[in-house]
Amino acid sequence: MPELDGGVLSGRAALLADVGLTGPALRTALAALYDGWLAGLLGNPGPGVALVAVGGLGRCQMAPGSDLDLVLMHAGVDDIGKVADALWYPIWDTGLDLDHSVRTVAEALAVAAGDLKAALGLLDTRHIAGDAGLSAELLTRTRAAWRAGAATRLPELRTAVLERAASEGEVAFLLEPDLKSARGGLRDVHALQALAAAQVADPPGGQVRAAAQVLLDVRGELHRSTAGAGRRTVDRLLLQEQDAVAAALSYADADALMAAVSGAGRVIAYAGDTTWRRISPAPPRRRLLGRRTGRTGAAGERRPLADDVVAQGGEVVLARDADPSKDPVLVLRVAQAAAWADLPIAPHTLARLVTECPPLPVPWPRPALDAFVGLLAAGGPAVHVFEALDQAGLLVGLLPEWASVRSKPQRNSYHRFTVDRHLVEAAAAAAGLTRRVARPDLLLLGALLHDIGKGLPGDHTVVGMRVVAELAPRLGLPPPDVDVLVAMVEHHLLLPDVATRRDLDDPATARAVADAVGSGQVLELLHALSEADAAATGPAAWSSWKAGLVDSLVARTAALLAGTPPPGPAPLADWQERLVAGRVFALQAQDDEVTVVAPDRPGLLGLFTGVLALHRLDVRSASLFPRNGTAVNVCRVAPRFGRLPDWTVVRDDLRRALDGELDLEPMLAAREAAYAPRLFLPPLSATVHLVDDASQTATVLEVRAADALGVLHRITCALARCGVDVRTAHISTLGADVVDAFYLVGPDGGKLHDPVLRDDVERSVLAALR
């Protein structure tokens, strides 16, 4: 008996089961399968009826989970309803997703005139079966209407592109990009094709077509992976799918896959920017040598920007008598001028620089280094200039080491950019901090190079130090400056790590930092670099709380390096002293600082942190000390969601917990389950480590674990069961992880020397985190 669905489902299943059938071959096979089946369903309806495909099927770019986008065309046929029923019902019976309509040519054009999505779909019309002349008429008239209406439709298209980019982010930099809708995705390719159909731009070039093929291939395997597992197909490349997609397409690993996706997204986004700019150039903000001017000049006016570099028509171009073949520094002068004028470099200028400019001599001449530092000093506008140099292939020519970090993903939720874009963004942020340091040139170069080792095997800091030690002399830097840059790479994480994980009131903390940095100059540069690095990382990397800690650490370290007494421990505020003096139990908050006074008892910190977690509060730091026969806990907190709570309710819950009337464990478990993060991340085991040389009076326990609402409560309760006291606690959140440091003292009030106790602490904390 023949299959009721005409064999389309079994044929589709056979295609998807063939793991060797990927990329264009899979898309071609799917289109051929659907074309043959649909033609059979329509049969021979006679003249005046045609079935056309639009969208993905019209472009022959079907993914396994794509809809069937079909239009049944007719020329006023009376019984078209019967033809439609005979076509649509068998499709619905298969369970395949169908987007369908029945139109005359006039009706289709009328719909397209008021619906941008419909208009774009019809631009990809492809005949499937029936009256081929009718299909050709639809395509011809659709494209003619699109060209005729370009003056109004293209601004509408531009708005849609910008709105989509704002809402979906960028393919190049997202941890889980939407391959279709994000900036640099497939819809942007469709927009470029629509511009070509309007005859206002050339069709997408070879680089864009190749980039689109990468995204189409990845999308196809993403659909195959999710469909095979019985899940709804999506176009967002989720973390849990990346390994399977990488294996299906023979990438070395998920990092290699995401590097390819990022590179493709950047090519498409850059092509879109360039094309749109040439279609409807907007008057840019002009900046020349730090001065802004509203003068735009006539379209043909050539305004000097630098030696052999001029602005014309809203772009940076070469002067008429410029000779790139005799001027290796010209690339950097053009780049610096473009950044400071906040103008794009014309594509033909980039092409000339690629083909005609000789390599820079080694070491770079001083004008080259000055232009490069000047480019970095431009700040935000330099980001787009770097992208232009990168897309033209000039950046790797200037800095061969850049190839190893180019489009390299950082597969965690803490970083928002690829490594190379992170470095450029860090340099742009550093440009706003140059007046805080004596050597702004070293700050800018250090910001650009601090993570350069991430592109090579090994510890990125150690590798980066070696890379910079070899690279910096080529740039023309003298040995003392090279040493400073290497030190900046070595210690670029030092200040925020120590500030958030160590007790700043412990003299050993500032002494360790002073010994590491060695000089006030390096300390000053690292202070600014820490802020720039965090700004380029993501919103979770910096806060007023962290800035305050880093400032305090820098002040103490600078005093040591200068030979002056460091600031002492911060005293309790007057309101805290009154609270301690007058109460047996009290909880009071001022802004984000919470002070609790309660009778000292084992496990007090665990109860306190548990109650705070119950009210969805994250503890950023905690200090504990005895005073007047009671225990005083001072914490800085931040709401995980929304605003700070009603402290009266928190106080009542803490009192109930102290009295044994509040069963914290099941309540916290329910909270954790309700607020567990939905983002998939590769599971990492918790780690614990005891450090003896970080303090003269306490043993430091370092804990790294997956973030959860009650994780601090579980750790502190485990420590209480071991019989050790927490003197201070310092909590940092890095993406999906917490990195905590606890200053511990044993029953004798000193460091943890007993091997049995140390082992018990490590085992108990690890068990609490499972």
pTM of the model: 0.81
φ, ψ dihedrals at 734, nearest 5°: -120, 95
Q: Which of 112, 261, 252 is nearest to 179 (CA)?
A: 261
CA distance 593 to 19: 58
- Segments in the chain below pLDDT 50: 1-2, 281-297, 678-681
The residue type at 361: P
pLDDT of residue 586: 84
pLDDT of residue 673: 72
Per-residue buried b or exposed e for 19-53, using 16+ beta carbons within 10 Å of the residue's own CB: eebbbeebbebbbebbbbbbeebbeebeebbbbbb
Find all residues with CB under 8 Å of 337, minimum gap 6, and list them: 305, 306, 309, 316
pLDDT digits (tens, 9 = 90+) for 494-550: 999 999 888 888 899 999 999 999 999 999 999 999 999 999 998 777 888 789 889
**Helix, strand or coil, per DSSP, at residue 129:** strand
Q: Which of 723, 717, 609 is nearest to 671 (CA)?
A: 609
CA distance 373 to 367: 10
* CB-CB contact of 551 with 487 (8 Å): no
DSSP state of 233: P
Can you say whether the dihedral through the CA atoms of 103, 109, 110, 114 is positive or negative? positive
**Helix, strand or coil, per DSSP, at residue 540:** helix
Q: What does the DSSP assignment read for 466-505?
A: HHHHHHHHHTT--HHHHHHHHHHHHTTTHHHHHHHHS-TT
φ, ψ dihedrals at 687, nearest 5°: -130, 145
Q: Count of H helices and E strands in the chain?
A: 31, 17
CA distance 344 to 357: 19
CA distance 141 to 147: 10
DSSP state of 238: -
| Tokens encoding 532 | 């720039």
Neighbours of 132 (CB within 10 A): 12
**Helix, strand or coil, per DSSP, at residue 72:** strand
Find all residues with CB under 8 Å of 515, minimum gap 6, and list them: none
> Which residue in the block uniquely carries the two structure tokens 């069937």?
68
pLDDT of residue 217: 98
How far CA 672 is from CA of 211, 610, 697, 714, 733, in Å, comes to 42, 12, 35, 12, 16
Phi-psi region of 465 (alpha: psi -120 to 50; beta: other; left: phi over 0): alpha
Q: Which of 300, 396, 293 is nearest to 342 (CA)?
A: 293
pLDDT of residue 593: 84
pLDDT of residue 287: 41
| Tokens encoding 681 | 């991340």
* CB-CB contact of 459 with 446 (8 Å): no
**Helix, strand or coil, per DSSP, at residue 130:** strand
Q: What does the DSSP assignment read for 77-94?
A: -TTHHHHHHHHHHHHHHH
- Burial degree of 110 (CB within 10 A; 0-12, 13-18, 19+): middle
How far CA 108 is from CA of 121, 241, 747, in Å, comes to 11, 39, 83
Give ∠ CA 119-124-130 in degrees, rounded to 5: 105
CA atoms within 13 A on the CB side of 176: 16
Q: Which of 78, 68, 198 is nearest to 126 (CA)?
A: 68
pLDDT of residue 541: 79
* CB-CB contact of 668 with 662 (8 Å): no
> Which residue in the block uniquely carries the two structure tokens 């309760």?
717
Strand 98-103 and strand 126-130: the pairing is unpaired
pLDDT digits (tens, 9 = 90+) for 329-366: 999 999 999 999 999 999 999 999 999 999 999 999 99
Neighbours of 147 (CB within 10 A): 13
Q: What does the DSSP assignment read for 704-739?
A: EEE--TTHHHHHHHHHHHTT-EEEEEEEEEETTEEE
Neighbours of 623 (CB within 10 A): 21
Phi-psi region of 603 (alpha: psi -120 to 50; beta: other; left: phi over 0): left
